[in-house]
C-alpha cells in the first residue's frame, strides 16, 4: 500500500442530473494539509473491483478552494463504464473511499486575468471550479461556453444561473444545446471566441469538442500559453499499489523498451539530475537513467507528484530546463506542450548526461 493515499469519508452524494452526481468528501486528521488544491485540479479515486482489486479513476474537483463547503468531485456516468456507474449507484454517505491528493496542471496562473472557459458535458467539473474561484478571489471577466446534449443534461444549471445573477458585470454563461443548435462547429466556436482573443482559454469536454475548440483558438492565434485543455481518459494502471511491486513489474517492460531503443546512443555514465520541487532543490549524481525520472526520485525519498504512472494524465508534468529525455508513452501533452519543455516524469528517461527539471509553475 502506498503512503500517499488517504481514506476519506463520504459526507454526501448529490444527484446533479439523471446521469451525474457529486460526491462530497470529508477530511480526516491525517488528510488535513494534504488536500489543498488549485481550481481545475483532480483527485484520483480507488474504486473497489472484484476483478482487479481496484480501478483507479481521476475526477476533477467541482468545489472551490476559496469557498466553504466540502471537497467535491462530480462524476458523469459513462455508458457501460465501471467506475462512474459504481460511484453513482453504489457509493453512499457514510462510506469511505481511498483517494490520492489533488494534482494536475489545468489551472489558471492568474485568477485576475479574463477567462474564456469552454466545457462540454462532464468537462464542466474543472470549469466550474475555476469560475467559482476566479469570481470569489479574482477580478477579471469570465465567459463560459457550455455545450450539452439537451437541457436535462446540463450539470450545475442552477449554480450557473445563481453565479450569473450574482456577478452580472463579470460572468456571462452561454448554454449551447445540441438538441436545439446541433454540435458546435469549429467555425461557430471561432466566431464566438473571436470576441475574447485577449482572454486565457481553458477547455474540457469530449475529444471532438476539444479538437474543434483547439483548432478555433489556433486559427485566432491564441498564443500557446493562453490555451489550456484537460483530457478525460480512464487510467489503466494502479497508482495506489505498492510502488516497489509496480517498479518490479515495470522493470520487465523497461527491459523490453530498452531493446526497442538500441539505436539510441547509450549513456556512458550516471546522469546528473537537478530538481526543483515545492521550493526545494535536489541534486543527484547517481541516476543510472534506466528507470523513469519519477521512479528514481521515489527511490531517493523525494515526494514527486504522480497519478496514473502511464502517461495518461498530467499529474507528474514537469518542465525540462536542461538536457533531453525520451518519453515511453504520452497521451496528454501535445506538440506545443513539448515545445514548451513540458514532460511527463513517469515516462521520461534521460537521453543526456545532465538533466535539470522543475515542478514549480
Ligand atoms: C484528469 C482527469 C479528470 C477527470 N475528471 C472527470 C470528472 O470530473 N468527471 C467525470 O465524470 N469524469 C472525469 N474523468 C474521466 C474519468 O476518470 C473516467 O475516465 C470516466 O468516469 C469513465 O470511467 P468508467 O470506469 O466509468 O468507464 P470506462 O473506463 O469506460 O470503464 C470501462 C473499463 O472498466 C473496466 N471494467 C469493467 N468492469 C470492471 C471491474 N469489475 N473491475 C475493474 N475494471 C472493470 C473495463 O475493462 C473497461 O476497461 C477525468 C479523467 C481525467 C484523466
* CA 179 to ligand 1 center in whole angstroms: 26
As beta bridge partners, residue 327 has 348
Residues with CB under 6 A from ligand 1: 42, 49, 51-52, 55, 57-60, 73-76, 78, 81-85, 104, 122, 125, 230, 232-234, 313
What pLDDT score was predicted for residue 36? 96
| Cβ-based burial of 274 (10 A; exposed 0-12, middle 13-18, buried ≥19) | middle
For residue 158, the surrounding DSSP H or E stretch is helix 157-166
How far is the C-alpha of 250 from the C-alpha of 291, rounded, in Å?
Answer: 9
User: Which protein residue has the closest C-alpha to ligand 1 atom 14?
Assistant: 232
* CA 7 to ligand 1 center in whole angstroms: 20
Burial call 285-295: b when 16+ CB within 10 Å, e when fewer? eebebbbbbbb
**Residues in the chain, how many?**
361
How far is the C-alpha of 199 from the C-alpha of 109, rounded, in Å?
Answer: 13
pTM summary value: 0.79
Sheet of strand 142-148: strand arrangement? 171-177, 142-148, 115-120, 200-204, 227-230
**Which residues, at least 6 apart from 41, have a Cβ–Cβ distance to it below 8 Å?**
60, 61, 102, 103, 104, 106, 107, 126
Which domains are delineated in the chain? 6-103 (2.40.30.10), 115-230 (3.40.50.80), 258-358 (3.10.20.30)
User: Which protein residue has the closest C-alpha to ligand 1 atom 31?
Assistant: 81
Mean pLDDT by 10 residues, the chain (361 residues): 80 98 97 96 94 92 96 97 97 96 92 98 98 98 98 98 98 98 97 98 96 95 90 83 43 38 58 92 94 94 87 89 93 82 94 92 63
* CA 236 to ligand 1 center in whole angstroms: 9
What pLDDT score was predicted for residue 250? 37
Asked if 119 and 91 touch (Cβ cutoff 8 Å), the reply is no
Which of 19, 234, 240, 241, when mutated, tests ligand 1's pocket best, judged by the most ligand atoms within 8 Å of its CB?
234
Amino acid at each position: 500500500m502506498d503512503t500517499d493515499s488517504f481514506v476519506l469519508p463520504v459526507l454526501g452524494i448529490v444527484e446533479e442530473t439523471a446521469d451525474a452526481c457529486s460526491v462530497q468528501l470529508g477530511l480526516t486528521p491525517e488528510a488535513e494539509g494534504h488536500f489543498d488544491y488549485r481550481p481545475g485540479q483532480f483527485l484520483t479515486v480507488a474504486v473497489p473491483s472484484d476483478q482487479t482489486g481496484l480501478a483507479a479513476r481521476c475526477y476533477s474537483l467541482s468545489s472551490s478552494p476559496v469557498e466553504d463547503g466540502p471537497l467535491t468531485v462530480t462524476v458523469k456516468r459513462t455508458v457501460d463504464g465501471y467506475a462512474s456507474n459504481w460511484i453513482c449507484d453504489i457509493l453512499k454517505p457514510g462510506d469511505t473511499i481511498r483517494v490520492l491528493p489533488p494534482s494536475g496542471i489545468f489551472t489558471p496562473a492568474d485568477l485576475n486575468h479574463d477567462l474564456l472557459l469552454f466545457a462540454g458535458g462532464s468537462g464542466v467539473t474543472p470549469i466550474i471550479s475555476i469560475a467559482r474561484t476566479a469570481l470569489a478571489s479574482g477580478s477579471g471577466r469570465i465567459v463560459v461556453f457550455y455545450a450539452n446534449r439537451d437541457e436535462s443534461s446540463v450539470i450545475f444549471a442552477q449554480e450557473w444561473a445563481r453565479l450569473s445573477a450574482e456577478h452580472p458585470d463579470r460572468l456571462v454563461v452561454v448554454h449551447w444545446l445540441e438538441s436545439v443548435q446541433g454540435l458546435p462547429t469549429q467555425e461557430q466556436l471561432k466566431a464566438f471566441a473571436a470576441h475574447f482573443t485577449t482572454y486565457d482559454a481553458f477547455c474540457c469536454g469530449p475529444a471532438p469538442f476539444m479538437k474543434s475548440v483547439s483548432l478555433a483558438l489556433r486559427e485566432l492565434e491564441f498564443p500557446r500559453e493562453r490555451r489550456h485543455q484537460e483530457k478525460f481518459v480512464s487510467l489503466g494502471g494502479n497508482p495506489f499499489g505498492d510502488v516497489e511491486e509496480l517498479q518490479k513489474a515495470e522493470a520487465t517492460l523497461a527491459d523490453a523498451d530498452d531493446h526497442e531503443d538500441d539505436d539510441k546512443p547509450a549513456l556512458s555514465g550516471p546522469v546528473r539530475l537537478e530538481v526543483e520541487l515545492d521550493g526545494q532543490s535536489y541534486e543527484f549524481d547517481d541516476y543510472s537513467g534506466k528507470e523513469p525520472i519519477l521512479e528514481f526520485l521515489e527511490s531517493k525519498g523525494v515526494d514527486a507528484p504522480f497519478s496514473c504512472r502511464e502517461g495518461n494524465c498530467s499529474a507528474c508534468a514537469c518542465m525540462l530546463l536542461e538536457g533531453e529525455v525520451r518519453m515511453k508513452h504520452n497521451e496528454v501533452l501535445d506538440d506545443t506542450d513539448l515545445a514548451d519543455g513540458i514532460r511527463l516524469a513517469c515516462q521520461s528517461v534521460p537521453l543526456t548526461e545532465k538533466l535539470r527539471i522543475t515542478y514549480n509553475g
